[in-house]
Amino acid sequence: MSRRLESAVLHGMLIAGGIVTLFPLFWMLSASFMSTGEAATLPPHLLPHAATLAQYRQLFVRLNLGRAFFSSAFVAIIVTISSVLFGSMAGYAFAKLRFGGRDRLFGLLLSAVVIPPQVGMLPLFLLMKQLHLVNSYWGAIIPSMATMFGIFLIRQFMLSVPQDLLEAARLDGAGELRIYWSVVMPLARPILATLATFMFMSTWNDFMWPLIILSDQSHYTLPVALANLSGEHVQDIELMMAGAVVTVLPVLLVFLALQRYYIAGLMAGSVKG
Amino acid sequence: MRSESRAALLLLTPAAIILVVFFFVPVIAGFALSLTDFDLYSIGDIHNTRVVALHNYRELLGSGIFWTAVVNTLYFALAGGPLTVVVSLAAALLVNARLTKYKALFRTVYFAPVVTTLVAVAIVFKYLYHPRFGVLNRVLGALHLPTPDWLGDPHLAMFAIILLAVWKGFGYTMIIFITGLQNIPEELYEAARIDGAAWWQQFRHVTVPMLGPTFLFVGVVVAIGQMQIFAEPYVMTGGGPLNKTLTVVMLMYQQGFKFWRMGYAASVAFILFLLIGAATVLQMKLQERR
């Protein structure tokens, strides 16, 4: 096979794969701009004949999806900030500070990653009920404010911080907390960005726990609101596609902007998708 | 030394509180819960709860719907896992090929479904699978192929969900394979070419053996993730038709949070734990043998 032909076949397959991969997202976007009923016409329309924002207007004006958008953003942002902060604190301590039982404690934490989160969900719900946090944003936020994944990721990075740097700061008379905040944290910026991107996206996309803990429409995050809406509006294809766009677009844009960091996080060995 | 310990205590405390109170204690409590008949009446008054030892587990193992859920979940994981591995390896080989231009662009395109919201794309696929209006059947019809009711046919519904899972997930494992491929020394391929090995022979005798450990890692990681499947059937089929897409986590959700049989649901959750634990042990055993 000549090199030209080989290249043509290769790129042909790559482009075909790309079309199959992007088609569902393209169709979602296209149908969201159609008028009601147009997505089910024969022969099918791939593009709206007269693009309209009617579906989006209905979502935000009549169905109050803006509220779910706000809920998702609030929950995701608070979880991101706190899990990066607490994860960096614990990750640094495990990597660089000497204290009794450190390695045993870390080993225990490491072995706990195999526990599926669903195992704790029933008692967690009862606990949240006792704390009066059912159907509140905090009920959705608190369990994710520190994650084992975050601690591992940061610890792995911190191991590569030279010990001499810390000793030098100690000789200069800097306190331990000051070293963490002013010496180590600035060095860790790339990994903090990785963790932040990762936590924002996985929290935004999270479904099962918000579904359980947020029992009232006033606090639904976007995935929960969308699942609820799809039960009531099965026939309204175009409306549901607009809802899907509103849900997917923010994470897709965050990914495109920060994919360098996000992919680095995946390579570090996460299991969550 | 003392000040380091004190700092460590301070830095570890917030994460420790969150993980202990909101993860470790609930997990242990979950096991205790599975040994009780905790239900709706217990939520009203905790004194309505009795310890029933292993009764929930006995009931579970004797219930047809539980075994249906286990079989469905294993089918999803054991068919979806390998299919994802094959598709993502093919994608990794294409993206990583020496002649490929715009590698980063194709990588981003193939990876995009991974970051999308599962609930949203499950709804999109539900319409793509629609027997009459769905784009999939329109294409199949135009090619004079059968146009089944993907999500309505008990024999096809889980397979349709598997296709969604492969679409959504292959980009993630593709990234892991690309890293694995880039770690294979170029000299091995050069030596194979000098020996006159064709593309397929290079793939079989250099790429596959060198990727060995990656295969195992990817396969098990994917299978473990897939055993937790919940959102897809919840949104697309509600577990039907004929319970053919009912999964273990969905059974736990229904029993625990719809019927409030929380003791019973907790025992379902622990069976899930055991299934995932078994898969993990299997992975470690296989890796030791290498």
pLDDT in tens, A78-87: 999 999 999 9
* Sequence-separated (6 or more) residues with CB below 8 Å from residue A271: A113, A149, B221, B224, B225
Mean pLDDT of chain A: 92
- Show residues of chain A in contact with B228, CB under 8 Å: 116, 118
pLDDT single digits (tens) B190-237: 899 898 888 888 888 899 888 887 887 787 788 888 999 999 999 999
Cα distances (angstroms) measured from residue A213 to each of A51, A75, A138, A142, B146: 38, 13, 10, 11, 43
* Sequence-separated (6 or more) residues with CB below 8 Å from residue A120: B22, B23, B26, B27, B29, B30
Average pLDDT value for residue range A169-198: 92
Of B10, B12, B228, the CB nearest to A118: B228
pLDDT at position A269? 54
> Distance between CA B226 and CA B275 in Å, rounded?
12
Q: How far is A205 from chain B (nearest CA, A)?
A: 5
Enumerate the domain spans of chain B: 64-289
- Show residues of chain A in contact with B179, CB under 8 Å: 267
Question: Which residue(s) pair with A242 in the sheet?
Answer: none
Angle between helix axes A3-32 and A237-267 (nearest 10 degrees) is 130
Is the backbone peptide bond immediately before B241 cis, with ω within 30 degrees of 0? Answer: yes
- Show residues of chain A in contact with B259, CB under 8 Å: none
Is the ipTM higher than 0.90? The answer is yes
Q: Does A27 lie at the interface with B, CB-CB under 8 angstroms?
A: yes
User: Is residue A93 one of the residues assigned to a domain?
Assistant: yes
Residue B168 contacts residue B114 (beta carbons within 8 Å): yes
- What is the domain count for chain A? 1
Q: How far is A14 from chain B (nearest CA, A)?
A: 7
Residues of the domain holding A253: 58-267
The alpha carbon of residue B198 and the mean position of all alpha carbons in its chain are separated, in whole angstroms, by: 36
Residue with tokens 């099918």: A44
Local confidence band at A268 (pLDDT 50, 70, 90 cut-offs): low
Q: Does B163 lie at the interface with A, CB-CB under 8 angstroms?
A: no
pLDDT(A270) > 70: no
Are B99 and A7 an interchain contact pair (Cβ–Cβ within 8 Å)? yes
Average pLDDT value for residue range A202-223: 95
pLDDT at position B290? 57
Residue of B183, B178, B169 whose CA lies nearest to A267: B178
- Show residues of chain B in contact with A86, CB under 8 Å: 14-15, 18
Phi-psi region of A269 (alpha: psi -120 to 50; beta: other; left: phi over 0): left
Both tokens of residue A251? 């994470």
Residue of A207, A138, A205, A114 whose CA lies nearest to B27: A114
Of B11, B12, B33, the CB nearest to A123: B33
Residue of B162, B224, B89, B167 whose CA lies nearest to A114: B224
Are A223 and B24 an interchain contact pair (Cβ–Cβ within 8 Å)? no
CATH of the domain at A65: 1.10.3720.10
- Show residues of chain B in contact with A75, CB under 8 Å: none
Are B133 and A120 an interchain contact pair (Cβ–Cβ within 8 Å)? no
pLDDT(A271) > 70: no
Reduced to 3 states (helix: H, G, I; strand: E, B; else coil), residue A19 is helix
Angle between helix axes A118-130 and B25-33 (nearest 10 degrees) is 100
Instruction: Give, as one character, the DSSP assignment of residue A139.
Output: H
Of B18, B138, B175, the CB nearest to A145: B18
Q: How far is B258 from chain A (nearest CA, A)?
A: 10
User: Is residue A40 one of the residues assigned to a domain?
Assistant: no
- Report which of residues A110 and A250 the model is more confident about: A250
Task: Show the low-confidence residues of chain B (pLDDT under 50).
Answer: none
Residue A204 contacts residue A272 (beta carbons within 8 Å): no
User: Is residue A220 one of the residues assigned to a domain?
Assistant: yes
Residue A227 contacts residue A44 (beta carbons within 8 Å): no
> Distance between CA A244 and CA A68 in Å, rounded?
13
User: Is residue A98 one of the residues assigned to a domain?
Assistant: yes
CATH topology of domain B64-289: MetI-like fold (1.10.3720)
pLDDT(A247) > 50: yes
pLDDT(A266) > 80: no
User: Is residue A2 one of the residues assigned to a domain?
Assistant: no
pLDDT at position B68? 96
Q: How far is A43 from chain B (nearest CA, A)?
A: 9
Render B37-53 in DSSP notation, one character per residue. Answer: ---HHHHH-GGG--B-T
> Distance between CA A121 and CA A134 in Å, rounded?
13
Amino acid at A143: P
- Show residues of chain A in contact with B167, CB under 8 Å: 21, 24
Local confidence band at A42 (pLDDT 50, 70, 90 cut-offs): confident
Residues in chain A: 273
